[in-house]
Chain A
């Protein structure tokens, strides 16, 4: 709760400075390569964050935000260079090969001790991905009903502490290496449900999981265990203020909200978990 409030405060402060100044020129001499903004994404980058694993196209929410931030910082689209990293590469000590890294990194105080995050560019609702068979079996969008399910999650995500914090299921969750393994376990009936950010869950249930269903969501503006995505940077990166300024300007002008509406499905149809 406090983190959310503080970051909102910081964001407004940033916004006011941003309006006074400008951002072009802020990044001079602070990027890896002069005049070029190097942005990292996942390998592969997933829908709907990046379409067709091709961030260069600017299609998909994160790819679009990346180009918007770059433009705000004074980089033309052809001055943006893409690289790929895993999560582990992003947090390894030593020199990084990107200016900032963008692959749905949730901002947490523990992580912030080792690396820097920008201001959040997206607040994620968390959704319960399950199958039609489980729903037919009587699972409902209530905490009491969710407690009785067998849970799964991707081990490297903040979904793990959220399952413990928001749901506290009766049996320990099973954890997997990536989205594919979670859906395989769901399909094999080894888990009943998995927790993902809403856009990922909508995609998986519609396209990947056979007979997939979204049971419900914890809305993005929940006070308990919020999940906000930030751009990841090396600890102490001088570029942070420029990136934050650019993001604040995008929020202020409503451009960020427009991109969200353009690339991410509206979540209105998904029931909120009681």
Chain B
């Protein structure tokens, strides 16, 4: 390295050049971001309709009046989410295992798993909610067994379990066949191989993908409002029509973001950790 020259800071010319480039890139990025933000802040209010849009969507008075009610309604979302999520995980796992059954005699299970995922992934969530939420209670169940909370939740569980089952199955498929062979050579039977060798690795592999499903579920809980429960989205709709103002939806969106952004970041963190662990 006799030929390399060093600058005053002790960096090689190449390193100094790269540092300059990096600084320049940062300056450009900061400058363009500032320009965009400035343009938005200055230009949007200049639009002739801005005042009306502001009054309809960003109305401080309406916001203050409706926000506490929205927070209270959000509790309903949390309850529904809290009892749906574990049941989805269990049912999803069961369906995934059904699809992985290898014994010929158990082929009907395999078929069931395939049909289940095909049907419930293919149907719009809202149709399943209407069908299960109004249809089954319509058969003549007595109260409280016809509650929209029970049957609406079941609809969510049925649909989401289909997605989760596919994710878990992809995790099971991602475990190399040699692992099963090795387990067999250790004398583990098929059940124990699945339980102690395949599933622990498979579930870990698909944890970030499942995290995304739960973020989506968190938002789809709002669909239950179609069959009666007054959760945050419905409450915002009530305020909207009473005040002829869309601001309550903005309030609801903020509450959703306060939950989903940390959850998304956590999913990203999990994924990154996994990537690092693999390299």
Of B148, B241, B243, the residue contacting A113 (CB under 8 A) is: B243
Inter-subunit contact B238/A155 (CB<8 Å): yes
**Least CB distance, A26 to chain B, in whole angstroms:** 26
- Is B141 part of the contact surface with A, judged by Cβ < 8 Å? yes
- Is A92 part of the contact surface with B, judged by Cβ < 8 Å? yes
Residues of B within 8 A of A156 (CB): 237-238, 240-241
**Least CB distance, B249 to chain A, in whole angstroms:** 10
Q: List 6 A-B contacts (CB under 8 A).
A: A88-B240, A114-B245, A161-B242, A172-B230, A185-B227, A189-B137
Inter-subunit contact B230/A187 (CB<8 Å): no
Of B53, B141, B228, B242, the residue contacting A175 (CB under 8 A) is: B228
Inter-subunit contact B234/A160 (CB<8 Å): no
Q: Digitize A104-135: 1 where CB-to-B-CB distance is under 8 Å, 0 elsewhere.
A: 00001011011100000000000000000000
Residues of B within 8 A of A111 (CB): 242-244
Q: Which residue of A lies closest to B226 (CB)?
A: A177
Residues of B within 8 A of A216 (CB): none
Knowing A93-B53, A155-B234, say if A181 contacts B227 (CB, 8 Å). Answer: yes
- Is B134 part of the contact surface with A, judged by Cβ < 8 Å? yes
Inter-subunit contact A93/B242 (CB<8 Å): no
Inter-subunit contact A174/B229 (CB<8 Å): yes
**Least CB distance, B127 to chain A, in whole angstroms:** 14
Of B52, B57, B237, B242, the residue contacting A110 (CB under 8 A) is: B242
**Least CB distance, B17 to chain A, in whole angstroms:** 53
- Is B278 part of the contact surface with A, judged by Cβ < 8 Å? no
B residues 127-157 near A (Cβ < 8 Å) are 134, 137-138, 140-143, 146-148
- Is A91 part of the contact surface with B, judged by Cβ < 8 Å? yes
The 3 closest A-B pairs by CB, nearest first: A174-B228, A93-B52, A156-B241
Knowing A155-B234, A155-B238, A188-B146, say if A93 contacts B228 (CB, 8 Å). Answer: no
Inter-subunit contact A176/B138 (CB<8 Å): no
- Is A157 part of the contact surface with B, judged by Cβ < 8 Å? yes
- Is B49 part of the contact surface with A, judged by Cβ < 8 Å? yes
- Is A21 part of the contact surface with B, judged by Cβ < 8 Å? no
Residues of B within 8 A of A94 (CB): 49, 52-53
Inter-subunit contact B237/A190 (CB<8 Å): no
Q: Which residue of B lies closest to A152 (CB)?
A: B228
Inter-subunit contact A176/B52 (CB<8 Å): no
**Least CB distance, B139 to chain A, in whole angstroms:** 9
Knowing A93-B53, A114-B244, A152-B228, say if A175 contacts B238 (CB, 8 Å). Answer: yes
- Is B225 part of the contact surface with A, judged by Cβ < 8 Å? yes
- Is B22 part of the contact surface with A, judged by Cβ < 8 Å? no
Binding site for B on A (CB under 8 A): 87-88, 91-94, 108, 110-111, 113-115, 150, 152, 155-158, 160-161, 172-177, 181, 184-185, 187-191, 235
Binding site for A on B (CB under 8 A): 49, 52-53, 55-57, 134, 137-138, 140-143, 146-148, 225-230, 234, 237-238, 240-246
Inter-subunit contact B238/A91 (CB<8 Å): no
Q: Which residue of A lies closest to B50 (CB)?
A: A93
Q: Which residue of B lies closest to A109 (CB)?
A: B243
Inter-subunit contact A188/B56 (CB<8 Å): no
Inter-subunit contact A190/B146 (CB<8 Å): yes
Query: Cα distance A172–B148 when bound, in Å?
Result: 13
Inter-subunit contact B226/A191 (CB<8 Å): no
Of A115, A155, A160, A190, the residue contacting B148 (CB under 8 A) is: A190
18 further A-B contacts with Cβ under 8 Å, apart from A111-B243, A173-B230, A184-B138, are A87-B241, A93-B49, A93-B55, A111-B242, A155-B225, A155-B234, A174-B228, A174-B230, A175-B228, A181-B227, A188-B138, A188-B146, A189-B137, A189-B138, A190-B137, A190-B146, A190-B148, A190-B227
Residues of A within 8 A of B225 (CB): 155, 175
Inter-subunit contact A110/B134 (CB<8 Å): no
Query: Cα distance A158–B244 when bound, in Å?
Result: 12
Inter-subunit contact B238/A160 (CB<8 Å): yes
Of A87, A113, A175, A177, the residue contacting B230 (CB under 8 A) is: A175
Query: Cα distance A177–B243 when bound, in Å?
Result: 17
